[in-house]
Amino acid sequence: MAERAIPDLSLSLAYEVRLDEADVELGDRSLGLSDRHLLVEFSMLMVPAYPMETLNTAVRQDWVPVLAHPERYAGIEARYGLIQTWRDAGVVMCVNAASLWGRYGREAEWAARRMLADGAVDLVASDHHARPGRSATMRQVWDLLLEAGHDEAARLLLSENPAAILDGRDPLPVPPVDLSEGWTERLKRMVGRSR
């Protein structure tokens, strides 16, 4: 159906791998978004006691970790400095679109917005999981970033960096996105209509 509606659309399958066991075997390269990049998450939606150790489970097996929804792990506000530590270690940051309008709570919204302002987000994704009610909202993020004049960030976060990762290339740096109060209100109004 998607193929008929959007002939240029190309779909590919990958996995969000939960790093809940030390030294889990990750040798199967087909698990990745590319043969270099592996989408990973921490268990229990909490920052683990030793997060870099956890991420190193993937690094040791020659993966570049793409950390799913870093903004959503409980405790991230108090330990926000970890975001830079992870980025310095080469971990790619993939934020959920709906975190930007508070769908996953106040802490996730705070962290997602702070990360955007710091230029610390590499890509924005839907976390759609084919679940009814969790609608893909990428177009809304695109429109809102463009409306606020962040064309370059929109292109990188929603198009070029995801494409680079699927291609096994490093994402490009994303300029800081300043979210003014007016922008936030506009975003909430727009999303509120379709939620």
List of residues contacting Fe ion (CB under 5 A)? 41, 68
* Helix extents (H) in 24-65: 51-59
Kindly state the smallest distance separating residue 16's Cβ from Fe ion, in Å: 5
**Between vectors from CA 15 to CA 10 and to CA 18, what angle results, nearest 5°?**
160
Give me the DSSP letters along 121-136: --EEE---TT-TT---
Residue 41 or 71 with smaller CB distance to Fe ion:
41
Q: Which residue has the tokens 């270099």?
A: 36
Closest residue by beta carbon to Fe ion = 41
Strands 123-125 and 92-96: parallel
Smallest distance, Fe ion to C-beta of residue 41, A: 4
> How far, in Å, CA of 190 to CA of 123, rounded?
21
Minimal distance, residue 138 CB to Fe ion, in Å: 17
- Residue 193's alpha-carbon distances to 92, 130, 144, 146, 186, in angstroms, are 32, 21, 14, 19, 11
Q: How far is the CB of 71 from Fe ion (least distance, A)?
A: 12
Q: Which CB sits closer to Fe ion, 68 or 164?
A: 68
* Residue among 38 and 179 whose Cβ is closer to Fe ion: 38
CB 147 → Fe ion: shortest distance, Å?
28
Residues 6+ apart with CB under 8 A from 83: 70, 76, 93, 111, 115, 118, 120
Residue placing its CB nearer to Fe ion in the complex, 66 or 164: 66
CB closer to Fe ion out of 102 and 148? 102
- The residue among 89, 43, 50 whose CA lies nearest residue 69 is 43
